[in-house]
Amino acid sequence: MHDDLGTWLEKYQAVDKNEGEQYHLPQRQYSIMTMGNHTKPPPPPTVLSSYADTDSIDCAEYTNESMMSDAGVSTTRSPSRASSYKYIDDNDGSSCIIHGLTYTPSRLSSINNDWDSPSNLENPHNWPLWKKIFHTALPALYGFVLTIGTSAYVPAIPFIMFHFKVSRIIAILPLALYTFGFTTGPLIYAPLSELYGRRIVYWISMPLFLIFTAICGATNSVHVLMIMRFLASFTGSGALAVGAGTILDIWDREAQSKAAISYIMAPFLGPCLGPLIGAYVITENNFDWRWSMWIVMLIGSPVAIMSIFMQETSKSQIMYKKASGTVEGKIPHKRGDTRLFIRKLRQALSRPFHMMFFEPLVALLSIYTGFAFAMLFSFFASYNFVFLVVYHFNQKQIGFTFLGILVGFIFAVASFSLFDNTLYRRECARVRGIPAPEHRLYTAMLGSIMLPIGLFWFAWTPRVTVHWIVPVLAGVPFGWGTLGIFISSTAYLVEVYQVTNSASAIAANGILRYTLGAAFPLFTIQLYTSLGIHWAGSIFAFLSLFLTPVPWIFFWKGKLLRAKSSYDTSLA
């Protein structure tokens, strides 16, 4: 019998999908447990997933001996490993501690990592259409509120300079710090959502965002304004960490791309509509800059209220609550959470930076999308400068000029859908399956041409003798190129790195994107005043021209670069 047990143990392998490695559980980790006169092997390790975005399997390393002794059980140390299992022997026989909860073999057999039937209504894929739309719209609205907080502040900058008697750079710093908060917040929220699901992130982030935004509107100190603006975006950015995962939880593969478009578009609508909305409310309220904060609160408060009615969408959390008997709406306490959270936080902080510096695919695409995104934020400064100096526009009129970029965004979405339904589907039919990820880059290749066209157009057309509509129309190819590059590059990274590392690749992209977005407005005005409108704009245009080959190189040489990657990538 002992030989049979040894054979069984040698054959059994546990896979930690979160690390992407395979390892054997040593035989010494287990003790033979007896029930009566029968000797039996312990049950296979059953693990409940807590990975927010991929439903990959993971288990905390529970090494707190006092915790085990308090439960009246003996423990057996497992090998030092990021993810390990601990089997115990109690008076009744064998049992297992998973996420701090004790399960007997009979209960372990009832825990399933999959739905009990394809039509299970607990599965978000089987929700009614109205429910899917509701849970898709809320992350999009979160993104819209967060990003409108960036650009609605722009019309307030001259009035903040006057009110606080500060320079333009100081007045722009709250905008830069707000944007920078988007780089750091998701790094904390991602591991938090892995432990407790997506819904708690929505419940926490928007109320905190509204509280700090309210303090911004009430303060009489520019230094408090800077700090609170950073904290508002830092705490509110949870939706940026879990929004895409929510979409994947709800929709089948065929509908995911269409649902994702709405989620991606909403955060880009904010920067376009924010200057107009902010300028209007400030002007209509006696040029009070505080209304740039109040309007964000007015838009965000209904979204926060609607989020109360959200349900959990993470499969791992739904299965965990079902297995542990947790009451719906109650957040379970899992012993060992602190240690698991620290481990996941360390991974969330380290892996994106490693990919950013040592993974060429991630590095180059992050630089490219980061530059395009930063140009959008630099327009907050350059549009104000150009249309004020050349055309003598007021803040309301300047707000309308951003609508040209919005039209470009619409063209970007349309072109992505067109390529997806024609060239991409044709390739699917040719290979009779999923084609190489490089076929997601068609829109980025088109965007790489449109972006420099828009930037050169905006650099050289603003003149007293040229009608104002001409530089406004430059926003169309610019917006087309910017969003086209972003959508296409994001889809490419997800398909290249798949579920194992795509979250880290997207996080690396977001870190660089928002860091550059925070930095560019700080030096844009100085560049325009030093070099003049035409040559300052040309510098950005030439930089975009220099980066134009990036998606084309990936399209032709992407398979070779993927083969050299140190991470698991698509084999297509």
Residue 122: strand, helix, or coil: coil
Q: Residue 106: what pLDDT?
A: 39
Q: Look at the block and give the residue holding tokens 């290749």.
A: 445
User: Distance between CA atoms of 8 and 513, rounded to whole angstroms?
Assistant: 50
**Mean confidence (pLDDT) of the chain:** 79
Cβ-proximal residues to 205 (8 Å cutoff; 6+ apart), any chain: 142, 185, 189, 235, 236, 237, 238, 239
Q: Mind listing the pLDDT tens digit for each residue in 466-505?
A: 999 999 999 999 999 999 999 999 889 888 887 667 778 8
Residues 274, 155: contact at Cβ < 8 Å? no
Which residue would you say has higher pLDDT here, 569 or 284? 284
Q: Residue 335: what pLDDT?
A: 53
Q: What ranges make up the beta strands (E) of 300-359?
A: none
Q: What ranges make up the beta strands (E) of 375-485?
A: none
**Which H or E element spans position 420?**
none
**Joined tokens for residue 547:** 């980066």
Cβ-proximal residues to 221 (8 Å cutoff; 6+ apart), any chain: none
**Joined tokens for residue 377:** 């934020």
Q: Mind listing the pLDDT tens digit for each residue in 100-117?
A: 333 333 333 344 456 666
User: Distance between CA atoms of 246 and 297, rounded to whole angstroms?
Assistant: 24
Residues 307, 242: contact at Cβ < 8 Å? no
Domains and CATH numbers, the chain: 2-108 (no CATH), 127-327 (1.20.1250.20), 352-509+521-572 (1.20.1250)
Residue 237: strand, helix, or coil: coil
**What's the half-sphere exposure (Cβ side, CA atoms, 13 Å) at 205?**
34
Residues 279, 403: contact at Cβ < 8 Å? no
For residue 29, the 8-state DSSP code is G
**How many other C-beta atoms can be found within 10 angstroms of the C-beta atom of residue 418?**
14
Among the listed residues 260, 236, 238, the one whose alpha carbon sits nearest the alpha carbon of residue 148: 236
Which residue would you say has higher pLDDT here, 352 or 210? 210
Q: Mind listing the pLDDT tens digit for each residue in 231-288?
A: 999 999 988 888 888 888 888 877 777 788 878 888 788 889 999 999 999 999 999 9
Mean per-residue pLDDT, 73-83 = 37
pLDDT band at 353 (very low <50, low <70, confident <90, very high): confident
**Joined tokens for residue 242:** 């879990």
Q: Mind listing the pLDDT tens digit for each residue in 146-193?
A: 999 999 999 999 999 999 999 999 999 999 999 999 998 888 887 787
